[in-house]
Amino acid sequence: MIKKLRYLTRSKFNTIYSHNLLKQLQKEHKKLLKLINSLENSLIISRDVSLKKLEKFRHEFELHVILEHKKLYSKLHSKYEPCGITKIEEIKQELEKVIDLLDKLKEQINSRKTKEAKIILLSIQRYLQKRIDFEESILYKLYEHDYSCEELKLLLN
């Protein structure tokens, strides 16, 4: 998978439609949700297990974000740039907030502050689910179909 991601990030053809992209992203979404839920269960068990699961989740999340940025968001940006809508770029930038939360979660786990860790983890889980729902219900439609600027504005509001 790493080789494939390296190719994608270097490719000059990142704005080309990929038939399998959405299926791959949906599969990764399921995997990410499974990993984050597994992390929740490990908070009770062991700090070391929790840290391992957190690193696994973070690694998978970062790979997923790279793929989204290079294939999904670059296509959406090139496709809808003439509409002058900044919402897609704003959505793309939100992902950095998750990385910050993951850093805070790691600090809490390392400090053995389980209650605080659970609160942060719950925030990540909620955000992730909300984000996945939005991507799969709105952004994937934008990727698969051509909408006018007026339709795009309605979909993103």
**Tokens linked to 104:** 């805070």
pLDDT at 53: 96
pLDDT at 142 over 60: yes
Size of the chain in residues: 157
Q: Give me the chain's average pLDDT, please.
A: 87
Is 26 or 95 the better-scoring residue by pLDDT?
26
The conformation of residue 84, written as its DSSP 8-state character, comes to T
pLDDT at 16: 59
Q: pLDDT band for position 19 (50/70/90)?
A: confident
pLDDT at 10 over 70: no
Tokens 């990385």, residue located: 99
Q: Give dist(CA 123, CA 118) in Å, integer.
A: 9
Under CATH, what is the fold of the domain 2-6+20-156? Four Helix Bundle (Hemerythrin (Met), subunit A) (1.20.120)
Angstrom distances, CA of residue 149 to CA of 54, 77, 108, 146, 156: 40, 13, 44, 10, 11
- Among 15-19, 28-32, 102-106, 144-148, the range scoring the smallest mean pLDDT is 15-19
Q: Express each pLDDT in 75-133 by its tens digit.
A: 998 888 888 878 777 877 787 888 999 999 999 999 999 999 999 999 999 999 999 99
Q: Which residues contact 135 (CB under 8 A, 6 or more apart)?
A: 25, 29, 68, 72
Domain residue extents for the chain? 2-6+20-156
